[in-house]
Structure 1
């Protein structure tokens, strides 16, 4: 590949005008001739720059509401011609096609249009055609042509030109070309994903995934793994859109766990009272409501103080000073909340390794979305688990119905179970988890582990009995045998909630009746792997 290539003629056509005038001025002072279209040309002229309209170059005016302006041999010939190919050079001379050495294009704001809730026809009108065509042409010919699609690359372009006597280096052009192809791929992915949704294609034959680099990570789950964090353009409140106020950059595991914590706490609307979730390795080790945010944190912490060390804390209301002071009692990796007042931020400022993130609101647990998981040779796509049940969906299957307080706790436990890795068992008492069993190969093991943790915490807190005494239990899927239910009863549980649907439901119900337990079926499963 040819190394440094001079830039004498540039075509600028941008939707996002950020930095446009400054770039145009910088190119002009370096002796670069400027070609442009529509609003871009107007903005450059208004800044006092000499600009040649593309219409003058092509001999055709912009037409069809701007749909046709750059789709012309005078443009694409200037972008695609191989400068070292005599036949190409002869064709350019014969047809009076001028070389275009630099293309600066950013595309119609399709993603923003969709995010704004525009109707179908408006979204269609915001699908760029000429822009992607020019970008792909320039990127293909990056041996000779520089193509810039992101405003944040303007300064890098000028710096590379200054280092190469007004040209660009081969390495830089390769980088620009890769970014350009990624941008058009991302753009097409946004369009195809939107259209699939618009026409109700739940399993389209082809599916594309898009992402924009948000952060290069020090490493992945382990130090020997490289990693990066990409955002998909969604405005959903959470770790991807949060503002970080202090602390070092989030790690791969921090991001994963913070997302799990915030998605869980978002199940509890602020107006229903304070709630706190503490996450460790993507599983809750404590979730609670309280009369204050401080109390909610304390009750969540008391579920499993050992696991909470070095964990992620998510709150459903703005962080206050009293809660912040309580949190600083142990080492915590990340705290994420809708907001934090000045006093709380001042408390955390003394803990430089503690990351504080604010989101501006909670995520909508009912909002439709897709989840994607890679497997060898492909990826799995499914709807996000937005399932929930109401009291009308519940079926009491035992002789004893749950009391009013048991029912409140059962619904709380069921909400938490949705966010615990399967097999999931959650003991809850008075609006707080008191034992969590997660990710075990058998459901009875999860039941035993959760109860054992409650015994350990009772010893640590100096309680006369574990808090599983008088608790309720949620299971994310049905009990295949009665042994799990019997174990929960032995731990002191008085009521259970589960989906039902086992071949041995009658056996499990009979065991519940024999133990005097109340049990309700939801008819909905919440596997989480």
Structure 2
């Protein structure tokens, strides 16, 4: 397969070839993928495939720069997400709901994403994707007519990939970097509900699902990584930070923004005619982020029909209502500050590999904050 370009446009020519020419893991149905498109696609497909099988529900992911901006299982689409994507919350199908819930975790970061879903694309999802800014999609199949709908995006440059669900990646992974050939076994450590319930039998079923989904997400998120999850969907993912506490804060800030977008004052914002859905979403995000300067305030006044900005007290009061959140870390939590930070964002359940020299401090912090801790899950570094 000749690729559009490598990691960057100046890296040409670039190509990809299946290890088994008789059974390639995917087919290009439309568009010309770049190397980054394929890296996003194969990681995103692995994530939704494993999450759906493990959690027993259709899964969707929004991938950017080889990490999920969001991942979710099929489930209820609330009014905020429905308005954001121009849908009727009462009639959204299960596969569409999985992707909508995934993209709604961080709609700004998902701009220009690679989409992955665990089931064949239907007409409803294709129609939604047709209206969104995305680079491509990977799925195990497509209903009649949907490929044509998707292939028309971006003047034919939208990448449509079909994954072969029967293909299992090889047991050994090989990568060549800087004159070295690196070899390791593929990360196929089992991630199952039993892994969680054996350690914490009192976990509620929803907490088990959220933690399990989080483990699958961390397996395909650039390390260091943490995730906040609630109701079968990620609400904040932090990736690629050298410091775990920085990652915890970044993901926590995303979870806060997800929750603040549901504040009645933010939901009631109305816009003048001609303001696109993407612009509306971005303005709502700026409002919940706060600290608008004079120029931004003037611009906001020009595009809305009146808006009441949240006071610090209103923000704090609303954020205090975020609860029952699950937190997953791809590596051992090294200090209790991660727990102290996580509970500021409603965390009540936590899964981490443990084994740090400061793990006893983490145990104490979880006890003080009444957070259920599940340790001894696999380390899930991904690079």
**TM-score, length-scaled by structure 1:** 0.55
- 1:500: Cα distance to partner? 0.9
Q: Is the 8 A contact 2:151 2:157 kept in 1?
A: no
Paired residue for 1:72?
Answer: none
Q: Is the 8 A contact 2:122 2:142 kept in 1?
A: yes
- 1:232: Cα distance to partner? 4.1
Give deviations 1:199-255, integer Å, cap 9, x for gaps: xxxxxxxxxxxxxxx21x343222232342232433798xx54232223x1112111
Paired residue for 2:103?
Answer: 301
- 1:362: Cα distance to partner? 5.8
Q: Mark the CA change 1:501 to 1:274 in structure 2 (over 3 Å): closer, same or farther.
A: same
**TM-score, length-scaled by structure 2:** 0.74
The 5 A counterparts of 1:12-51 are: none
Paired residue for 2:113?
Answer: 311
Q: Mark the CA change 1:466 to 1:230 in structure 2 (over 3 Å): closer, same or farther.
A: farther
Matched, 1:358 2:162: yes
The 5 A counterparts of 1:56-71 are: none
Q: Mark the CA change 1:441 to 1:468 in structure 2 (over 3 Å): closer, same or farther.
A: farther
Q: Is the 8 A contact 1:401 1:518 kept in 2?
A: no
Give deviations 1:97-154, integer Å, cap 9, x for gaps: xxxxxxxxxxxxxxxxxxxxxxxxxxxxxxxxxxxxxxxxxxxxxxxxxxxxxxxxxx
Q: Distance in 1 between matches of 2:121 and 2:113?
A: 17
Which of these residues, 18, 31, 37, is aligned with residue 254 of structure 1?
37
SS of residue in 1 equivalent to 2:108: helix
Q: Mark the CA change 1:502 to 1:378 in structure 2 (over 3 Å): closer, same or farther.
A: same
Tell which structure's C-alpha radius of gyration is larger.
Answer: 1
Q: Any unmatched runs of 5+ in structure 2?
A: 76-93, 268-317
Q: Distance in 1 between matches of 2:198 and 2:26?
A: 42
Q: Mark the CA change 1:251 to 1:511 in structure 2 (over 3 Å): closer, same or farther.
A: same
Paired residue for 1:160?
Answer: none
Give deviations 1:355-389, integer Å, cap 9, x for gaps: 2111242654xx65222233334221101111124
Which of these residues, 286, 311, 321, is aligned with residue 70 of structure 2?
286
Paired residue for 1:220?
Answer: 6
Which of these residues, 226, 232, 236, is aligned with residue 425 of structure 1?
226
Q: Mark the CA change 1:467 to 1:427 in structure 2 (over 3 Å): closer, same or farther.
A: farther
Q: Is the 8 A contact 2:64 2:113 kept in 1?
A: yes
- 1:523: Cα distance to partner? 4.1
Paired residue for 1:264?
Answer: 47
Q: Is the 8 A contact 2:103 2:110 kept in 1?
A: yes
- 1:522: Cα distance to partner? 2.8
Which of these residues, 3, 23, 28, is aligned with residue 244 of structure 1?
28
Q: Mark the CA change 1:488 to 1:508 in structure 2 (over 3 Å): closer, same or farther.
A: same
Matched, 1:443 2:244: yes
- Backbone CA RMSD of aligned residues: 2.5
Paired residue for 2:282?
Answer: none
- 1:493: Cα distance to partner? 0.7
Q: Mark the CA change 1:235 to 1:425 in structure 2 (over 3 Å): closer, same or farther.
A: farther
The 5 A counterparts of 1:365-444 are: 368-394=170-196, 401-444=202-245
SS of residue in 1 equivalent to 2:248: helix
Q: Distance in 1 between matches of 2:198 and 2:359?
A: 13
Give deviations 1:250-302, integer Å, cap 9, x for gaps: 11211121111112112134692211011000000010111400111110011
What is the number of residues matched between the two proteins?
A: 309
Q: Distance in 2 between matches of 1:269 and 1:235?
A: 27
- 1:457: Cα distance to partner? 3.3
Q: Which has the higher contact order (CA 8 A, sep 6+)?
A: 2
Q: Distance in 2 between matches of 1:262 and 1:466?
A: 35
Q: Mark the CA change 1:467 to 1:452 in structure 2 (over 3 Å): closer, same or farther.
A: farther
Q: Distance in 2 between matches of 1:232 and 1:500?
A: 37
Q: Is the 8 A contact 1:401 1:519 kept in 2?
A: no
Q: Is the 8 A contact 2:319 2:345 kept in 1?
A: no
Q: Mark the CA change 1:296 to 1:521 in structure 2 (over 3 Å): closer, same or farther.
A: same
Q: Distance in 2 between matches of 1:346 and 1:377?
A: 42
Paired residue for 2:59?
Answer: 275
- 1:390: Cα distance to partner? 3.5
Matched, 1:518 2:301: no
Paired residue for 1:321?
Answer: 123
Q: Distance in 1 between matches of 2:98 and 2:22?
A: 25
Q: Distance in 1 between matches of 2:321 and 2:8?
A: 36
Q: Distance in 1 between matches of 2:205 and 2:228?
A: 17
Q: Distance in 2 between matches of 1:269 and 1:391?
A: 13
Q: Distance in 1 between matches of 2:73 and 2:378?
A: 24
